[in-house]
């Protein structure tokens, strides 16, 4: 079996606005999705997943798209995870020119699904990397990021930026503005995450912002202001000014709330973190539920969040210096 892993990520600044070409700043975190791929000669695609914050599941597809059985998908997140693998495998076929080989794909992940930590991007990156290597091709990081981006774009009906997939493929701290994706120097950021146990629907949340932006000038201005915040946030980070970065994260959360993508539990965790002395706290990713990201070099925020009603898990997340890792 050929195995690759790829990290999750947090947005320090700029989610949603990045979809409209504004800059965003992200950090890869040491929570990973690991994907194993074993070629099979009957052309079938079999996906087995564990540890996706859901009961493990197995889905088997036929050799051709028309041959797919109905998947019993009481869990819409399971469907989503399977779609990412399905689309990633199409990219493996496209890169290698091999349309015949089937695959057993095994996913293990310690990134909760749909919670703003980039689980789908990490699965897409790791699946494409492992799948292409299983057929004898090793992709450069840029092509891997591009293919993983297209996977997200296809599954999310054209509503994806390059940010999540570039960050997962590359690791470290990154800045993304439209097609311009680059690594940036950032200090050792003291990231603490709060997770409410839930998930948001990225497609719906992105559509909601799109509608608001079309209807109200204030919403279009808000999206642009988030871009300005991300520019200032990047400056604060590269100057190692965590207090200023935290202040800007607080503004960013307020603007995301105005765009309707926060939730009661995310707001509750944000306020608990601020009350505990976090330098800054905001939702991360699409929102609607899932995770917040906070900056705090002390243990206070993690402790306070672990006692906050509605916070299912609080943990410190180290920066993942490397993106995709080739395990064997």
Tell me how far apart the alpha carbons of residues 120 and 111 are, in angstroms, rounded to a whole number. 9
Closer CB to ligand MEV, 59 or 111, in the complex? 111
Question: Please, which of residues 116-175 interact with ligand MEV by CB under 6 A?
Answer: 160-161, 163-164
Catalytic residue among 86, 104, 129, 164: 164
List C-alpha distances in Å: 266 to 28, 42, 179, 302. 21, 46, 30, 15
Q: How many residues lie near ligand MEV (CB under 6 A)?
A: 12
Question: Please, which of residues 183-202 interact with ligand MEV by CB under 6 A?
Answer: 202
Question: Please, which of residues 280-299 interact with ligand MEV by CB under 6 A?
Answer: 285-286
Question: Please, which of residues 200-229 interact with ligand MEV by CB under 6 A?
Answer: 202, 206
Work out which of 19, 167, 255, 292 binds ligand MEV, going by CB under 6 A: 19
Least distance between ligand MEV and beta carbon 83 (Å): 15
Both tokens of residue 118? Answer: 């980039």
Tell me how far apart the alpha carbons of residues 62 and 64 are, in angstroms, rounded to a whole number. 5
Residue 281 class from Cβ within 10 Å (0-12 exposed, 13-18 middle, 19+ buried)? buried
Both tokens of residue 123? Answer: 């699965």
C-alpha 67: how far from chain center: 31
Tell me how far apart the alpha carbons of residues 65 and 47 are, in angstroms, rounded to a whole number. 15
Stretch that binds ligand MEV, among 13-21, 78-86, 98-106, 129-137 (CB under 6 A): 13-21
Task: List the one residue out of 186, 227, 177 whose CA is nearest residue 29.
Answer: 186
Closer CB to ligand MEV, 151 or 161, in the complex? 161
> By beta-carbon distance, which residue lies closest to ligand MEV?
161
Least distance between ligand MEV and beta carbon 20 (Å): 9
Q: What share of the chain is helix, strand, coil (3-state, %, to 5)?
A: 40, 25, 35
Per CB under 6 A, 236 contacts ligand MEV: no
Least distance between ligand MEV and beta carbon 54 (Å): 19
Both tokens of residue 109? Answer: 């992940």
Question: Please, which of residues 37-66 interact with ligand MEV by CB under 6 A?
Answer: none
Q: Which helix (H) or strand (E) holds 79?
A: helix 76-96
- The three-state secondary structure class of 274 is helix
Strands 45-50 and 102-109, sheet pairing: parallel
Closer CB to ligand MEV, 10 or 276, in the complex? 10
Closer CB to ligand MEV, 33 or 276, in the complex? 33
Work out which of 18, 237, 242, 283 binds ligand MEV, going by CB under 6 A: 18
Least distance between ligand MEV and beta carbon 202 (Å): 5
**Scanning the structure block, which residue is given the tokens 């036929």?**
62
Work out which of 6, 13, 15, 57 binds ligand MEV, going by CB under 6 A: 15
Work out which of 2, 12, 16, 262 binds ligand MEV, going by CB under 6 A: 16
Tell me how far apart the alpha carbons of residues 198 and 113 are, in angstroms, rounded to a whole number. 9
Phi first, then psi: give them for residue 18, nearest 5 degrees: -60, -25
Stretch that binds ligand MEV, among 16-24, 30-38, 181-189, 299-307 (CB under 6 A): 16-24
**Scanning the structure block, which residue is given the tokens 């494409």?**
128
The answer to whether 40 and 104 have CB atoms below 8 angstroms apart is yes
Give catalytic status of residue 98 as yes or no.
Answer: no
Closer CB to ligand MEV, 261 or 269, in the complex? 261
Where does this chain bind ligand MEV (CB under 6 A)?
15-16, 18-19, 160-161, 163-164, 202, 206, 285-286
Question: What residues are labeled active site?
Answer: 164
């Amino acid at each position: 079996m050929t195995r690759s892993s790829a990290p999750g990520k947090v947005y320090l600044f700029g989610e949603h606005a990045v979809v409209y070409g504004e800059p965003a700043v992200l950090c890869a975190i040491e929570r990973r999705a690991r994907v194993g791929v074993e070629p099979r000669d009957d052309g079938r695609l079999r996906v087995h997943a564990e540890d996706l914050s859901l009961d493990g599941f197995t889905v088997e597809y036929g050799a051709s798209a028309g041959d797919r059985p109905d998947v019993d998908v009481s869990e819409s997140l399971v469907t989503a995870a399977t779609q990412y693998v399905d689309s990633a495998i199409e990219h493996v076929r496209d890169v290698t020119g091999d349309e015949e080989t089937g695959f057993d794909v095994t996913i293990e992940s310690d990134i909760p699904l749909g919670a703003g930590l980039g689980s789908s991007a990490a699965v897409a990156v790791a699946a494409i990397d492992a799948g292409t290597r299983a057929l004898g091709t090793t992709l450069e990081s840029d092509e891997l990021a591009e293919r993983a981006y297209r996977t997200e774009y296809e599954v999310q009906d054209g509503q994806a930026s390059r940010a999540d997939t570039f960050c997962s493929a590359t690791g470290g701290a990154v800045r993304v503005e439209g097609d311009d994706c680059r690594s940036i120097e950032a200090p050792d950021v003291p990231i603490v995450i709060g997770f409410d146990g839930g998930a948001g629907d990225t497609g719906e949340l992105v559509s909601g912002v799109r509608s608001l932006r079309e209807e109200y000038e204030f919403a279009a201005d808000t999206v642009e202001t988030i871009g300005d915040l991300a520019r200032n946030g990047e400056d604060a980070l590269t100057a190692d000014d965590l207090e200023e970065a935290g202040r800007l994260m607080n503004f960013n959360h307020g603007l995301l709330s105005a765009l309707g993508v926060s939730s009661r539990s995310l707001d509750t965790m944000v306020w608990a973190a601020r009350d505990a002395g976090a330098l800054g706290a905001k939702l991360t990713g699409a929102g609607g539920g899932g995770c917040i990201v906070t900056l705090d070099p002390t243990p206070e925020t993690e402790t306070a969040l672990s006692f906050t009603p509605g916070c299912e898990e609080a943990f410190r997340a180290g920066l993942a210096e490397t993106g995709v890792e080739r395990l064997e």
